[in-house]
Amino acid sequence: MANLTPELEVERQKIEKIADKVGLDFYNTIFELVTYKELNQIAAYGGFPVRYPHWRFGMDYESISKGYDYGLSKIYELVINNDPCYAYLMEGNEFIDQKLVMAHVFGHCDFFKNNQWFSQTNRKMMDEMANHATRVRRYMDRFGKDVVEDFIDVVLSLENLIDRHAPYSKSKIEYEAQEADLSQQSANRKPGELKVHKEYMESFINPPEYLREQQEKAALENQMENRRFPEKPERDVLKFLMEYAPLEPWQQDVVSIIREEAYYFAPQGMTKIMNEGWASYWHSKLMTEQIMNDSEVIDFADRHSGTMAMEPTGFNPYKIGIELMRDIERRWNTGQFGKEWEECDDLAERKNWDRKLMKGREKIFEVRRNYNDVTFIDEFLTEEFCLQVQPADRAVRSRHSRLPAY
């Protein structure tokens, strides 16, 4: 596939069959072999080979390149949420590295396709990014590079001011139509008037003094609403600017481009821990059980441990994600959840608790489908999980007494 070597293509086909057999469901995945300079460029572009021209991409490229040249960082994989998915392998990596990355990528591709928070993203974003680049270049040719780039600088300072949950709720048009229907139903009633089923109860339920008071209150509220702009608070500031700001047509288009890309990347920020944890869980499981051979064990352990390393005061989404996925699988296999488990106060019984339900694999697939990082951490980061991590940390501190206890 693409420009893979024959050996890598054989492994790709093998790993794809294994991933499919264990239940991963992903779009067709295209792997491309690139040089480290090409990979750094793609990484600077946010994972895409083509983006609109802007100085920040050059700045990111310079930072990534220096990190690689000085041995401070190395990119092993890049994968794009697209249909088909595109993933990049770096020339010069060892064979075990390429196999690990391919297994990791299939985990990401499954997450992109099946997680609900990615369900509203554009699955043809590779083409859309190229289209954005063409439009921005056209504006630069027409209005001048500095003029367009300065405006992009301004809009990029606001790119996070979007409503991340808007794609998953009713559209504004549907909401306004629903409100119009409700307004029509109450159009024949005076402000504050309650519905009366028996005519003789009218004077008791809707006394004239009460109705006059409600009418005056409604008139005052209408007067205040007419002064308010917008009528209701808007989370999506970029959309508000597109509709109401005094912008030229090309400026509105630039805002729409940056807004669309911001919505595309938003779910990745909302699911970083889960996404990396899910991909790491599967690359670890597939590599150790079905993919690598005996001669590759030490090299795999070295790469995997380096990815999972987390300093005592640091935070590694790969480490937290994979350990939580494993803990969820263990808990649902042994039945350590639900009312009976929560109400058990016997420490010995809790320690040996095993109902042999074996629902762990089913549960982690459910979690992968429905959760984002906030709900994932809120529900599954338990006290027991934290206590399991502490003994290893205490052992490290006992050997290095200068490390502060916490």
Structure tokens at 23: 């239940």
CA-CA-CA-CA dihedral for 340, 345, 350, 353, to nearest 10: -30
> What pLDDT is recorded for position 404?
36
The whole-number pLDDT of residue 242 equals 92
Among all chains, which residue has been given the structure tokens 């409604």? 218
Domains of the chain: which residue ranges?
6-115+271-305, 126-163+235-267, 170-227, 309-399
CA distance 248 to 242: 10
Interhelix angle for 373-380 vs 317-334, to 10°? 50
Buried b (16+ CB within 10 A) or exposed e, 251-260: bebbbbbbbb
Residue 5 tokens, joined: 């070597």
The pLDDT value recorded for residue 231 is: 73
Q: What is the DSSP string of 1-15?
A: -TT--HHHHHHHHHH
User: CA–CA separation, 383 vs 350, rounded Å?
Assistant: 13
Q: What pLDDT score does 406 carry?
A: 33
Q: Would you report the helix, strand and coil content of the chain in percent, each value rounded to 5? A: 65, 5, 30
Alpha-carbon distance of 4 to 30, in angstroms, equals 10
Give, for all 406 residues of the chain, the pLDDT tens digit.
Answer: 468 999 999 999 999 999 999 999 999 999 999 999 999 999 999 999 999 999 999 999 999 999 988 988 888 889 999 999 999 999 989 999 999 999 999 999 999 999 999 999 999 999 999 999 999 999 999 999 999 999 999 999 999 999 999 998 866 545 555 655 555 555 455 555 555 555 655 565 667 777 777 777 777 777 666 666 777 788 999 999 998 999 999 999 999 999 999 999 999 999 999 999 999 999 999 999 999 999 999 999 999 999 999 888 889 999 999 999 999 999 999 999 999 999 999 989 988 999 999 999 999 999 999 999 999 999 999 988 988 865 454 444 443 333 333 3
Q: What is the DSSP string of 76-107?
A: --EEE-SSSEEEEEETT--HHHHHHHHHHHHH
Spatial neighbors of 274 by CB under 8 A, at least 6 apart, are 111, 115, 321, 367, 368, 371, 372, 373, 376
Q: How many CB atoms lie within 10 A of CB 345?
A: 7
pLDDT computed for residue 176 by the predictor: 52
Quick one: pLDDT at residue 196?
Answer: 56
pLDDT of residue 314: 86
Question: What does the buried/exposed string (b/e) look like for 208-226 if buried means 16 or more CB atoms within 10 Å of the residue's CB?
Answer: eeeeeebeeeeeeeeeeee
Report CA torsion sign: 340, 341, 345, 350: positive
Query: What would the two tokens of residue 130 be?
Result: 């190229």
- The pTM assigned to this predicted structure is 0.84
What is the rounded distance in angstroms from the CA atom of residue 176 to the CA atom of residue 180?
6
